[in-house]
Amino acid sequence: MKSVTAEAMLDLERKTVDALEIKMTDLMDRAGLGVALAAFQFCQDRDGGEHQVLLIAGRGNNGGDAFVAARYLKEYGAIPTVWIAGSASEIKGDALTHFSRMKSAKIEYRELPVREDWDDAAAFLDKRRNPYYSAVVDGVLGTGLKGAARGPAAGAIRLINALAWNTVVVAIDVPSGLDADTGEAPGEAVMADVTATIGLPKRGLLMPAAVNYAGSVEVVDLGVPQEAVDEIECDLELITPFDLQPLFPPRRRDAHKGSFGHVLIIGGAEGCSGAAALAAAAALRSGAGLVSALVPRSVAGTVASAAPEAMVHPGTDTDAGSLAAASLDVWRRRAGEFTAVAAGPGLTRHPESAALVRALLRECRVPLLLDADALNVLEGCAADIARASCPVTITPHPGETGRLLGCGAADVQSDRLAAARRAAGLTGAVVVLKGAGTLVTRAGDTMHVNMLGNPGMAAGGSGDVLSGLLAGLLAQGMAPMDAARAAVYLHGRAGDDAARAKSQHALTAGDIVENLGYAFQALTPR
């Protein structure tokens, strides 16, 4: 989904009002309804008790959205309370209309017009050890922020962040204090778990600078005319379920396992058998009809027991217990059976691994995914990938990207967008630059950003799960860019579902695999 500047979104809102022949207050009602739905889903995730939601509203249109959301939340059975960062007498325009409707709905509100009021409120809540809220909604500042937040708005931001330790923070449109176009925070800014952005994603939300503030980004549909969206030039898009759903049509009733491809995972070694096993397990969850794994003979039994539905082919071991290049003879004898190949999980950096990867680049004729050590053994040799005989997808983390480009991980992280574009240009591959705000691109194409996922996924094996999942989608005939976008979305969503169930701290790569089925439900018709 295309991202837009704050100014462009204002123009789209005017076009939407004209096209739908409605008033701006009606458009604000749609926005607030979407925010209420985003907040209420977290109420439903909480067990028992009354679902109290604290909405903190500014005096402008962002506050107006919060007033609407409060009204709908009450209709859903939650107990909303609204705190206003300012005086109610300062509310004007469409926001005032919805403030009046909120009051008519008998929703409790409180005015905190000066910074000291917020400091006092924070102290009061601290003494109560932060009362239980199912969600806190940030409606303080919108897209028109210029410079650092001041006065009651700054106090409100500080309070929201203080409450975040034991509740979910949902930001309206952009987290308050964040520049909607750049993603920079010139002062204090809300650190949201979810940003319910209105109409279309704001460009700043997708920038690396916004990663610690935006959380996951959900789009509230306003009914913007598609022809108006088509006119927008955009080089940065958010990966959303709306864009991905057409990639997963209903399966025919007469389908069989041969209808959905056969993926081969190549990797594993003594001490690294889990990487290949996790990749195989994720491939099995991808919808692929058949999954095979080519691993060293010494770990074949371990991988087979960890992923019993996969066919495990023992290869030749090196003296270090890794996969020897001669093992590719197993693949060569059956190459016509496989519709995609993934190499790298647990492969190691043994000299034989380099020979194996280069042979794959020369001989493979189906989509090939390279990850982990399959990239590390090509350090400084990005051009080798560009000469491949098949479509290649690479899924490096910043360190692996740096090794391909001849720079450090810090250099990659300092400008992730530029690093991803450079890697795509040098390799000719579809590039998936992993990390918070995973990027997907290829030379000359739009940059796509995934805003799902959480810090709990920064654990061993998570990348192997992504590799297996992506390879499984490739095996089913999905185009590499489509497969990459779908895989990072599903991976992030499964990780978020797993974190809600088990916490970020206790999250494992296996938990991500187990939650892939639930993630697919957002994209598949049945």
CATH number of the domain that residue 131 is part of: 3.40.50.10260
Q: Indicate if 180 and 314 belong to the same structural domain.
A: no
DSSP secondary structure letter of residue 324: -
- Going by pLDDT thresholds of 50, 70 and 90, the confidence category of residue 517 is very high
CATH of the domain at 454: 3.40.1190.20
DSSP secondary structure letter of residue 108: E
- So what's the pLDDT on residue 273? 96
**Percent above pLDDT 90 for the chain:** 91
Q: CB 259: neighbour CB atoms within 10 A?
A: 12
Q: Is 51 exposed, middle or buried (0-12, 13-18, 19+ CB in 10 A)?
A: buried
Instruction: Note whether residue 389 is domain-resident.
Output: no
Q: Is the pLDDT of residue 454 over 70?
A: yes
**Contact indicator for 342, 467 with CB cutoff of 8 Å:** yes
Q: Indicate if 184 and 306 belong to the same structural domain.
A: no
The radius of gyration computed from the CA coordinates of the chain, to the nearest angstrom, equals 25
**Contact indicator for 170, 35 with CB cutoff of 8 Å:** yes
Q: Indicate if 204 and 331 belong to the same structural domain.
A: no
447-450 and 438-441: which strand pairing? antiparallel
- So what's the pLDDT on residue 526? 63
pLDDT tens figures, 281-340: 999 999 999 999 999 999 999 999 999 999 999 999 999 999 999 999 999 999 999 999
Q: Is the pLDDT of residue 104 over 70?
A: yes
Please tell me whether residue 364 adopts helix, strand or coil conformation.
coil
Average pLDDT over residues 438-442: 98
Q: CB 368: neighbour CB atoms within 10 A?
A: 29
Tokens of 385: 């990938």
**Contact indicator for 464, 456 with CB cutoff of 8 Å:** no
Q: Indicate if 153 and 287 belong to the same structural domain.
A: no
Among 194, 244, 246, smallest CA distance to 451 is for: 194
Q: Indicate if 159 and 41 belong to the same structural domain.
A: yes
Q: Indicate if 336 and 275 belong to the same structural domain.
A: yes
Instruction: Note whether residue 144 is domain-resident.
Output: yes
Domain boundary at 219, 235, 251, which? Answer: 235
Q: Indicate if 198 and 288 belong to the same structural domain.
A: no
**Contact indicator for 393, 368 with CB cutoff of 8 Å:** yes
**Contact indicator for 180, 6 with CB cutoff of 8 Å:** yes
Q: Indicate if 221 and 270 belong to the same structural domain.
A: no
Tokens of 369: 């995914």
Q: Indicate if 279 and 219 belong to the same structural domain.
A: no
Instruction: Note whether residue 72 is domain-resident.
Output: yes
Measured between alpha carbons, how far is 304 from 307 in angstroms, rounded to an integer?
5
Domain boundary at 235, 252, 269, which? Answer: 235
Q: Is the pLDDT of residue 436 over 60?
A: yes
Please tell me whether residue 490 adopts helix, strand or coil conformation.
helix
Total structural domains in the chain?
2
- So what's the pLDDT on residue 297? 97
Instruction: Note whether residue 407 is domain-resident.
Output: no
Tokens of 39: 């907040």
Domain residue limits at 162 = 6-235
Q: Indicate if 181 and 229 belong to the same structural domain.
A: yes
Q: Indicate if 444 and 347 belong to the same structural domain.
A: yes
Q: Is the pLDDT of residue 45 over 90?
A: no
Instruction: Note whether residue 429 is domain-resident.
Output: no
Among 167, 159, 124, 121, smallest CA distance to 140 is for: 159
Beta-carbon contacts of residue 314 (< 8 Å; ≥ 6 apart): 295, 296, 297, 300
pLDDT tens figures, 193-210: 999 999 999 999 999 999
Bridge partner list, 291: 263
Q: CB 74: neighbour CB atoms within 10 A?
A: 17
Beta-carbon contacts of residue 464 (< 8 Å; ≥ 6 apart): 274, 275, 276, 278, 279, 282, 345, 346, 371, 372, 509
Q: Is the pLDDT of residue 128 over 70?
A: no
Tokens of 62: 């962002």
Query: Helix-strand-coil percent breakdown of the chain, rounded to 5?
Result: 50, 15, 35
Instruction: Note whether residue 493 is domain-resident.
Output: yes
pLDDT tens figures, 343-359: 999 999 999 999 999 99
End-to-end CA distance of the chain: 23
Quote the mean pLDDT of the chain: 94
Q: Tokens 């410079």 identify what position?
A: 147
Instruction: Note whether residue 93 is domain-resident.
Output: yes
Q: Indicate if 218 and 272 belong to the same structural domain.
A: no
Instruction: Note whether residue 375 is domain-resident.
Output: no
Query: Has this prediction a pTM greater than 0.85?
Result: yes
Measured between alpha carbons, how far is 138 from 175 in angstroms, rounded to an integer?
7
- The packing angle between helices 462-475 and 273-285, to 10°, is 40
